[in-house]
Amino acid sequence: MNLRRQLLLVSLLILVLPWAGCQFIRETESALREGQQRMLAGMATAIADSLSQFPDELRRSASGTSAGENQLYGHPLPSAPLIDGYVDDWELNPASFRSLRGTDGAIRYVAGVHRQSLFLYVDVRDDSVIYAAQGSAGGGRRYHDLVALISAAASEPVAEFVFEAEAPGDIMARRLQDTYAFDETRIAAHWQDTPGGYRVEARIPLDLLGDRLGVAVRNTTEATNAGIRSENFNASRPGLFVTTSPVLESVAEAYEQPGMRLIITDPTGWRLAQAGAIRSGATGIDEPFIQLNWRQLAFAYLLQPGDEEILAEPHPSGREQQTYVSQALRARPTEDWFRSSETGRAVVVVAQPIWSGNVQTGVLIMQQSTDAILALTNESLARLINLTMLATLVAAAVLLGYSSWLSMRIRRLSNAAIVALDEDSMTKTLPSAMANDEIGDLSRSFSHVLRQLGEYNEYLRTLAGKLSHELRTPLTIVKSSLENLEHQALTPESENYTARAKDGAERLQNILNAMSEASRVEELMQHAEPEAFDLAAALDSVVAAYRDAWPQRQFVFSSNPESITLHGSPELIIQMLDKLVDNAVDFSKAGDRITIGLVSDTGDAVVSVHNPGSPLPERMRSQLFESMVSVRKDDAGEHLGLGLHIAWLIAEGHGGSITADNVDDGVRFQVRLPEKSI
């Protein structure tokens, strides 16, 4: 991983700061919400004490043994619906409907109250609707389909308001009480057929009804002409009718505050009064979190999660059944809160039992949104996010710029060191040498190492010439002395020693000549005048000379194309080939074939020399063309490894390269020379 990426990863540690800030905001929101919850609990206690003076209003729907599930609840309606058999204008939650088990499917019904009227809607599933006989409803046919509303009062007999039809449309309700029956003209009703049954909608004045109500449906089949009755109550005693109390609603409205909802229930949980609302905007506060955006989504994610806000809504059935209400109905004050996972807004809920003396007469539920808290914390979070993003971007940009500048300095230093190693002189001053930081120290250290390496390299380069110059005179004296000894009378043993000394002097002379040749080639490369010549013709001529010089070897030459023009020094090129061929002859046997090839490859002239023999040792391939390196089995004598080094000098001097590779049947040397070289 490069330095720039490392610094970018380090810059991510800056994100610890916004994380800590988010944790602080989260804790602040929790503390503010808990404070609001405690304040709401105190208010609920005070309001519950004031409601204790209305025990009759609180318990009027919960007296007797039939209080509970069988009770019919009258939902408050904001406006009177049209009696037409449709429920679209009732403005109720669909979950407000209750169900009865019918013979052909579920029977859905709901009751509502507007001013002094009870509205009843019943949706019956009936595969075969049986109407009353025309002109004789209630007596012409013994059994037919009908809907009945059962009413009972403490001091009056049970009354049954029957809704039956001879045909779809407006119908007349009949009242059955004791042994008499008559049409009730004050009731408006409508019978509406549906594909799977029928619907009945009715409006009944409340003064006709008792304090106990129940719904019954009779389904008649043609086959048996018998009716099956479905009821939501005990046939002998319907449940108490429950609806909102105007007195309690007036009291609740007196305590209404913006963004707060009050609900009053009886001892069994039926809702008797409701005032206020907790919808967003009820507080009148400018709330930037109402419209969802990426900041709001982040805010909702960071806040402490809670149950969904829908759990704080009044129960659509009219009977509060939430957990916090159930606990308050068992005389335990309860506090809770809910949060919307979409908007992040929370609702604080308090359920406080209402006591009239030592008797629990109801429950007060107070709900308040935390919109003001959310607006405050969201604004803080927005500022935190904006500042964090700005700081992170600035820090990332600074670190990116710094890392780019730092990596550029290191890269320049690396490139300069590579260039200095490739040049003949290694005394070049490296970049950042004057800087006072660690890179400056590194540059100065590299410069010092390069200078020492350059001095040592220069010493090695001139060593051959110096040795050749210094040893030539003593060697000449030795050779002349040995020649003079040959003219003296010597014993056979002395003649043997003299011959050995002369042979050693000859070998030393050859070594000095080779060392001088390497130095001379370097000088020639510096002063050579390039010229254009036909490389193929030059190689063909020297290969013929090789055949004469080494008749024990077979020399094969091929060129493709037949003529290749090269710009360079023909004498040095021929000298380079002499070294390669001499090496090939040394490592081959009599009768072996040495192949010399010439091809043109993408603007380069490629000369190859292939000879059979033992392969090159892998450990020596990288050092093969260095000075005084030899891979011969007999490294004694004049074989100092200067031949291949001279070939490498000539190839490099012409801007080319030389390589050696093991092949299946020997070794192949390949020289690549640009056709336009020095």
> Among the listed ranges 66-70, 185-189, 323-327, 527-531, which one has the minimum average pLDDT value?
66-70
Domain ranges of the chain: 13-60+245-379, 73-239, 438-520, 528-674
Give 410: exposed, middle or buried? Use CB within 10 Å, 0-12, 13-18, 19+: middle
Q: Which CATH number fits domain 528-674: 3.30.565.10, 3.30.2400.10, 3.40.50.880, 1.10.1200.10?
A: 3.30.565.10
- Asked if the domains at 73-239 and 438-520 fall in one CATH topology, the answer is no
Note the pLDDT tens digit of each residue in 300-314. Answer: 555 555 556 576 788
Average pLDDT over residues 477-494: 78
Give the model confidence (pLDDT) of 166-192 as tens digits. Answer: 999 999 999 998 878 899 999 999 999
Fill in the DSSP letter of residue 319.
B
pLDDT for 300: 53
Q: Answer with the residue of higher pLDDT: 60 or 260.
A: 260
Give 463 or 271, the one with higher predicted confidence: 271
Which token pair is 72?
A: 């019919």
Q: Alpha-carbon distance 39 to 31, whole Å?
A: 12
| Alpha carbon distances (Å) from 537 to 582, 594, 677 | 20, 18, 18
DSSP state for residue 314 in the 8-state scheme: P
Are 223 and 137 contacting, i.e. CB atoms less than 8 angstroms apart? no
Cα separation, 143 vs 220, in Å, equals: 6
DSSP bridge partners of 77? none
Q: What is the pLDDT of residue 376?
A: 58
Q: What is the pLDDT of residues 320-375, one digit of tens each?
A: 988 899 999 999 999 988 877 666 677 889 999 999 989 999 999 999 877 665 55
What does DSSP assign to residue 7?
A: H
Across 94-107, average pLDDT: 89
Minimal CA–CA distance to 47: which of 283, 275, 352, 277?
352
The 8-class DSSP code of residue 571 comes to H
Structure tokens at 646: 């001279």
Alpha carbons 628 and 636: distance in angstroms, whole number? 12
User: Is the torsion defined by CA of 634, 636, 642, 645 positive or negative?
Assistant: positive
User: Which of 3.40.50.300, 3.30.450.20, 3.30.360.10, 3.50.30.30 would CATH assign to domain 13-60+245-379?
Assistant: 3.30.450.20
Region 75-104: mean pLDDT is 92
Q: How confident is the model at residue 289 (pLDDT cuts 50, 70, 90)?
A: very low
One-character DSSP codes across 145-181 = -EEEEEEEETTEEEEEEEE--SSSEEEEEEEEETTEE
**Contact of 219 with 127, CB cutoff 8 Å:** no
Domain 438-520: give its CATH code: 1.10.287
Plot region of 7 (φ>0 → left; ψ -120 to 50 → alpha; else → beta):
alpha
73-239 under CATH 2.60.40.1190, yes or no = yes
pLDDT for the residue 471? 73
Q: How much is the pLDDT for 287?
A: 43
Express as a percent the part of the chain with pLDDT over 70: 77
pLDDT at residue 507 above 90?
A: no
Q: What is the pLDDT of residue 325?
A: 92
Instruction: At 6, list the tokens.
Output: 């490392």
Q: Determine the pLDDT at residue 151.
A: 92
488 contact partners, CB below 8 Å, separation of at least 6: none
Contact present, 144 and 112 (Cβ < 8 Å): no
Q: Would you state the pLDDT for residue 87?
A: 93
HSE, CB side, 13 Å, CA atoms: give it for residue 522.
14
pLDDT at 294: 53
Overall average pLDDT of the 283-307 stretch? 50
In the predicted structure, residue 92 carries a pLDDT above the cut 60: yes
- H or E element that contains 272: strand 271-276
Please, what is the average pLDDT of the chain? Answer: 80
Entry pTM = 0.55
Looking at 143-157, 488-502, 650-664, which range is the least confident one? 488-502
User: What's the pLDDT score for residue 313?
Assistant: 85
The predicted-structure confidence for 509-522, as pLDDT tens digits, reads as follows 766 666 666 666 76
Q: Residue length, the chain? A: 678
125 burial level (CB within 10 Å; 0-12, 13-18, 19+): middle
pLDDT of residue 307: 58
